[in-house]
Chains A and B, each alone.
Chain A
Amino acid sequence: MDIQFTEKTPFTIVTISGRLDASCADEAIQSIDARIKQGSRKLIMNLSKLEYASSAGLRVFLLAAKKTQGLNGSVEFCGINDLIAEIFEINGFKDLFPFHSNEEEALKNFKQ
């Protein structure tokens, strides 16, 4: 798992690549927390390089969304592949979050 942050004010792009499972979820949670503490509020999770996510990955996203929501921010997603999208779907994430096809679309259509 690798996690990178790119600031595109007022958005923060969070690009997570590789495998997001229980062995690295806490590391992802801590990095995202640190960014939120530094002031990031509108997070775009770019999952185009994410190959695998388990429920531990869903926990990372739920925690980030709950934290930013408490600070008048939010989390949206882009670039998710079909395999991971199914995991999101069976856990009701499609009703909770907006999904965009790519980063440009997310930047353009981010719901305030």
Chain B
Amino acid sequence: MSECLQASLVNRLDEIEKLAARVDEFCRQNQIAAKDAYAINVSLDELVTNVISYGYEDKAEHRIEIQLRMDNGWVEARIDDDARAFNPMEKPPPDLTKPLAERPIGGLGIHIVRKMMDSVSYRRQDGKNVLVLRKKVVANS
């Protein structure tokens, strides 16, 4: 049983599908329910996609480090990146009561993360953004 996953991604969007395959495997090995596996995958996807799409001012290759571990019925995921300082949790939630014509196209990703995770913490440390996500998970029966 693998209780820890470490992945080092380059800043390309096609890396996310590869990460998802590894996260699914981690969740299977730890008997995490499909619903929770989806929540973890989509949260990592949203945050990493933001970093790749908006975080870098140069065209260079950058590394984004992902760690996932099980801790007493909780999954803890950590994302470290060297993109510009950005705390996604400071973004105001989107207004989901507006009619279609006025509905914003963006800002939904971070909303998904907030809804799917039990806690999200951000810190800037040694020139890096560090995000730690925690979710209580249900074991597959």
Q: Are A54 and B42 in contact (CB under 8 A)?
A: yes
User: Could you tell me which residues of chain A, from 64 to 98, have a CB within 8 Å of some CB in chain B?
Assistant: 65-66, 69, 82-83, 86-87, 90-92, 96
Q: Are B103 and A62 in contact (CB under 8 A)?
A: yes
Question: Which of A19-27, A34-42, A100-108 lies at the interface with chain B?
Answer: A19-27
On chain A, the residues within 8 Å of B118 by CB distance are none
- Number of chain B residues whose Cβ lies closer than 8 Å to a Cβ of chain A: 29
Which residues does B use to contact A, with CB under 8 Å? Answer: 13-14, 16-17, 20, 34-35, 38, 41-42, 45-46, 49, 52-53, 94, 96-97, 100-101, 103, 105-106, 108-109, 111-112, 115-116
Closest to B99 in A: A96
On chain A, the residues within 8 Å of B45 by CB distance are 21-22, 54
Known contacts A52-B20, A90-B111, A90-B112: A62-B42 contact under CB 8 Å? no
Q: Are B108 and A55 in contact (CB under 8 A)?
A: yes
Q: Specify which of B17, B41, B108, B109 lies most central, judged by the most chain A CB atoms within 10 Å of its CB.
A: B108
On chain A, the residues within 8 Å of B35 by CB distance are 82-83, 86
On chain B, the residues within 8 Å of A59 by CB distance are 105-106, 108
